Amino acid sequence: MRHLRTASSLTALALVALPLAACGGGDGGTADDAFKAHLKDRGPITYVQGKVNDNATHGIIDKWNKLHPEEKVTLKEQTDEADQQHDDLVRNFDAKNADYDVVSVDLVWTAEFAAKGYLQPLKGDLAVDTDGLLDSAVKGAQYNGVQYASPTTSDGGMLYYRTDLVKTPPTTWAELFAACDIARQAKIDCYAGQFNKYEGLTVNASEAINGAGGSIVAEDGKTPTVDSPEAAEGLQVLVDGFKNGDIPKSAITYTEEEGRAAFQAGKLLFLRNWPYVYGLASGEASSKVKGKFSVAPLPGLDGVGASTLGGHNTAISAFSDNKATAIDFVNFLASEEIQKDYMEKGSLAPIRADVYQDPALVKKYPYLPTLLTSIENAVARPITPFYQAVTKAIQDNSYAALKGDKTSEEAVKDMAAAIKAASGQ
Amino acid sequence: MNNNASGSTAPAPARRRLARRRARGSSLDPHETRRALLLVAPAVAVLALVIGYPVARAVYMSFQADQHLDENGVFVEGGFAGLDNYKHWLLQRCGDVACPPGSTGSSFWEVVWITLFFTVVTVTIELVLGFWFAMIMNGKFRGRGLVRAAVLIPWAIPTAVTAKLWYFIFSYDGIINNLFNSQVLWFGDKWAARSAIIVSDVWKTTPFMALLILAGLQLIADDVYEAAKVDGASPWQRFWSITVPLVKPAVVVALLFRTLDVLRMYDLPQIMTGGGAGDGNDTTTLSILVINEIRNGFNSAAALSTLTFLLVFGVAFLFIKFLGASATGAEGKAKR
């Protein structure tokens, strides 16, 4: 009896709610209307980014506010978690909120947000000043040939190596694995990157594929190009490394931190990681490799490899009420002075080549020239509105290949098929 | 159906009120019914808005096709999709082809199986351990209060912290591998990763089970046992003939809560393995799949969450139907 009553009241609820749901489906004005509005308007704006855990951002915003008392920027911090930042942005854009004027977007979200009409195309009055910016970083903020954001900070992978064991760093995979005998004699592991099944694996697999001349998705953001002999050959390098023990078995569970811990404990000859490791491995008291390591560009199949581009872009919300102020602020973040602030105070990699050559900075951060080479040769992860599905396709299939469950050829074939299915073709 | 007899004999107002009270509100006169409805209406409206609307919207969306790119690379609405989204999961069809490895659709049945596996194994272990702990805590001994409080600690720790804790314990250079001098890749191998998750979940939620069962045990009056002793029942007979049947309502509620919990388990495997290990998806639960799919922004996520809802609802229904679980405890009381 009681259940019957519950069931009938649930039905009643559904009857009340269904018409509401039907209303929610429709869509008001088109994105184009939003793009044309408020282009010349000025006033206070809100800048949204993930939780500030550097010492630069607050000072940079203070600098702007001192210079522009009439057009103050308010900082809105999101959580620490990238996924939650993404979801928060989507919710606000979806509601066409004017609360967010300028937003910091992870590189891999740019295409998705652009395709959904959330981001103001940066052309005409709102063009980005790309003078002096690194080419790869500028390209990483484009979708379908249109600039949708401006690069703000960059990042690139580097090869950390032990200078006490290896005199000249390897420039190709063959050279790197040839040096593994040294590791065996020293009774340590040879090479590791990030091979756990998470975003880091996408980064490492893309590097292997791009470094061998392959690619993953075409410029239209939906056609897979990964089913190629080059891509398979690139992936095979890592597969072989696992098979013959040059990459330790445990590396299949490594994220950035496990690899760093192994390297700092002196248990690893070569490590692929981001620049943040440099400061920690040379500064932390527990580090056993202090003064005994250096960095080199990532190896490729025949020459310098292709790092995966990291970093953040800054974009303008299509629903902002003060777009003229917003673009000034975006260009301000990319200016030389601010880029130096990001590097000096926040250790965030600049997007201007000249900052990397600043003698004072190079003295403080000796890895800067190497990082510049890395970023100049860097390739962005697939620029596609279906990024979440594409990264899953890469992760699942390259993980299976690394574990020896399928061949590299099968892996890239399945990757292509999964990308195709995800983009609805 | 207790349209009560005593109220219909046109009694004095006082008797009528008494009768009404006895009938516990199920025989209000029309006037009072209207007032009751009026009083309940705001709550019903709020519920319809905050529960009914999202559920109905999810079901509606599950019949809509995904957005796709037009020739300018801009998303456009997909329109009505019929049962395509359900076919995507149940038949693992991606458009006209079978879902290739590395697409979310390809892993549906495997994920359902993994979720059910976790449910059966962890709940069974927790039931046995929980019962045992409850029996111990039900005894009379010095420091009983302290023990009861101490047992609760794992349950009081937030799941995310528990997950991170066990993540470190099971890591390659972690305590477990050091203790047993082993080199198990706890988060790389299928069964190792699953065991690690089961151990963590059991550690975390056995106290909850124990506490609910303890509450049931406390309701059994001591004189029942004394009477049985006088009749010469052995401890074993007392356990099976008195403790088990009398504690059953509490146990069933505990089982129901835990079963539903594990069916929606997300944070523990997500933090410990990210759903990985084995072939890359061997610790992915239904909730992890739902969240990933929602992030993808696909409408098939709505179909998936509807399917998950149906599964959880079905299990809860079976529990109530066959084991007589009642979350409020009212039915258990009525039976006794």
Do A414 and B295 count as a contact with CB atoms less than 8 A apart? Answer: no
Do A116 and B95 count as a contact with CB atoms less than 8 A apart? Answer: no
Do the beta carbons of residue B287 and residue B266 sit within 8 Å? yes
Identify residue A55 by its one-letter amino acid code: N
Q: Distance from CA of residue A197 to its chain's centroid?
A: 16
Each residue of B223-265: pLDDT tens digit? 888 888 888 888 888 888 888 888 888 888 888 888 888 888 8
Instruction: Please work out, in degrees rounded to the nearest 5, the angle formed at the alpha carbon of residue B31 by the alpha carbons of B30 and B35.
Output: 115
Alpha-carbon gap: B217 to the closest alpha carbon of chain A (Å) = 27
Q: How far apart are CA A222 and CA B176, in angstroms?
A: 45
Q: How far apart are CA A307 and CA A156, in angstroms?
A: 6
Q: Any idea where the domains of chain A sit in the sequence?
A: 3-154+310-376, 158-308+386-422
Each residue of B292-336: pLDDT tens digit? 888 776 778 888 888 888 888 888 888 888 776 555 544 444 444
Which of B295, B313, B317 to probe by mutation at the A interface, max A CB count within 10 Å?
B295
Q: Residue B46's closest chain A neighbor by CA? A: A13
For residue B280, which residues of chain A lie inside 8 Å, CB to CB?
Answer: 197, 395-396, 399-400, 403
CATH class of the structural domain A158-308+386-422 = alpha beta
Q: Residue B66's closest chain A neighbor by CA? A: A424
Do the beta carbons of residue A110 and residue A313 sit within 8 Å? yes
Identify residue B212 by its one-letter amino acid code: L
ipTM, two decimals? 0.71
Which residues contact residue B283 at a Cβ distance below 8 angstroms, ignoring those fewer than 6 apart?
B114, B193, B194, B197, B269, B272, B273, B275, B276, B277
Q: How far apart are CA B184 and CA A250, in angstroms?
A: 9
Burial of A362 (0-12, 13-18, 19+ CB in 10 A): middle
Distances B313 to A79, A182, B53, B127, B267 between C-alpha atoms, Å: 33, 60, 18, 21, 21
Do B47 and A13 count as a contact with CB atoms less than 8 A apart? Answer: yes
Each residue of A169-185: pLDDT tens digit? 999 999 999 999 898 99
Q: Is B62 helix (H, G, I), strand (E, B) or coil?
A: coil
For residue A90, which residues of chain B lie inside 8 Å, CB to CB?
Answer: 297
A85-89 long-range contacts, Cβ below 8 Å, gap at least 24?
Answer: A85/A50, A86/B295, A87/B295, A89/A48, A89/A113, A89/A118
pTM over 0.80: no
Strand partners, B75: B69
Hey, what domains does chain B have and what are their CATH numbers?
A: 37-98 (no CATH), 107-323 (1.10.3720.10)
Q: Distance from CA of residue B174 to its chain's centroid?
A: 31
Count of A-B CB contacts under 8 Å? 152
For residue B1, which residues of chain A lie inside 8 Å, CB to CB?
Answer: 1
Q: Residue B107's closest chain A neighbor by CA? A: A396
Run of H or E including A136 = helix A135-139
From first to last of the 336 residues of chain B, give the pLDDT tens digit. Answer: 444 444 444 445 655 555 555 555 555 677 888 888 899 999 999 988 898 888 888 888 888 887 777 777 788 777 787 788 888 888 887 777 788 887 777 888 888 899 999 999 999 999 999 999 888 888 888 888 888 888 888 888 888 888 888 888 888 778 888 888 887 778 878 888 889 999 999 999 898 899 889 988 888 888 888 888 888 888 888 888 888 888 888 888 888 888 888 888 888 888 888 777 767 788 888 888 888 888 776 778 888 888 888 888 888 888 888 776 555 544 444 444
Do B73 and A249 count as a contact with CB atoms less than 8 A apart? Answer: no
Q: Distance from CA of residue A257 to its chain's centroid?
A: 17
Average pLDDT over residues A83-100: 87
Do the beta carbons of residue A383 and residue A217 sit within 8 Å? yes
Output the pLDDT for position B231.
87
As a whole number, the mean pLDDT across chain B is: 81
Just give the CATH number of A3-154+310-376: 3.40.190.10
Which residues contact residue A173 at a Cβ distance below 8 angstroms, ignoring those fewer than 6 apart?
A237, A299, A300, A301, A305
